[in-house]
Amino acid sequence: MDKNQDIPWSLVVTPKSNWLNLNLREIWRYKDLVFLFLKRDIVTVYKQTILGPLWFIIQPVLTTLVFTVIFGNIANISTDGLPHVLFYLSGIVVWNYFADCIKNTADAFKANENIFGKVYFPRVIVPLSTVLSNLVKFGIQFLLFIGVLIFYTFKIDLPAIGLDIIILPFLIVLVALLSLGCGMIISSLTTKYRDLSFLISFGIQLLMYATPVIYPLSEAPEEYRPFILANPMSSLIESFRNIFLGTGEISFSHLLYSLIFTVVIFLAGLIVFNKTEKTFMDTV
């Protein structure tokens, strides 16, 4: 008689029957693994670089300076009367978080295929930890923006930050969920269509020009505004600028659209991700 027959299983792994199953309880049980991936994503990126985490600050600073020279001084694009550095940095900080989350989560299956094939854990932990690790980077760049904002308050008359700041966490959560949903969809598709991985950076760069990062929405031609507002990131960046700089507008109808769009994309990403998870190892 086998002595192991009477020993109860501590864990039974079964296929997901519900594609919308986020399984928060299981994710919480693997919270240590989430923190491990979180640490890996933060440390390994700049582990063998000379400047290390300083790149978190150098990247937005250099991008802001390039935008200031090209779009502010040469192209002379309006920034609603704000200093170019302050205006561009406010858009870059939010956009970088969105773009980095998509680029990193879009590689979830391909970059972790060795781990996925050997050990069981909730696969959604990988893109989730990526979004959380990029949140740390966003926090550092946000503090940089606040520092620049404080510097300019001594030079020009900026409006005081009002009660609208209470919606800031809501904006950040929407950016995180939107990028997570998009990343899960792209990651699932690249398991079969590897060509998509070459289009991600190019597509994100093009999308930036359809978002009011380097120009205010008020300067966009009237006939193009509906197309710009169809991009859910437009209202999020405009609202972020309105909170801290007093430009742009906080339109609750546009934010409601961004909320609905984000929920749909996130649920679609969850469905596709959970479906791909079942057959991923057979595909690769």
For 278, half-sphere exposure in the C-beta direction (CA atoms, 13 angstrom radius) is 11
Q: Averaged in consecutive runs of 10 residues, what is the pLDDT profile of the chain (284 residues)?
A: 53 54 68 78 66 79 94 89 93 94 80 67 80 90 94 86 89 95 86 74 89 90 90 94 86 93 93 75 50
Residue ranges per domain, the chain?
21-283
What is the radius of gyration, based on Cα positions, of the chain? 21
Instruction: Tell me what pLDDT residue 122 has.
Output: 72
Instruction: Tell me what pLDDT residue 214 has.
Output: 92
Instruction: Tell me what pLDDT residue 124 has.
Output: 79
- What angle is formed at CA 64 by the lines to CA 197 and CA 174, rounded to 5 degrees? 55
Q: Cα(159)–Cα(142) distance, rounded to whole angstroms?
A: 19
Instruction: Tell me what pLDDT residue 1 has.
Output: 46
Instruction: Tell me what pLDDT residue 279 has.
Output: 64
The amino acid sitting at 278 is K
Q: At what angle do helices 232-245 and 125-153 cross, to 10 degrees?
A: 30
Residues in the chain: 284
Position of tokens 């200031």?
Answer: 68
Q: Which of 35, 52, 30, 31 is nearest to 43 (CA)?
A: 52
Phi-psi sector, 217: left (phi>0), alpha (psi -120 to 50), beta = alpha
Instruction: Tell me what pLDDT residue 278 has.
Output: 66
Instruction: Tell me what pLDDT residue 260 has.
Output: 97
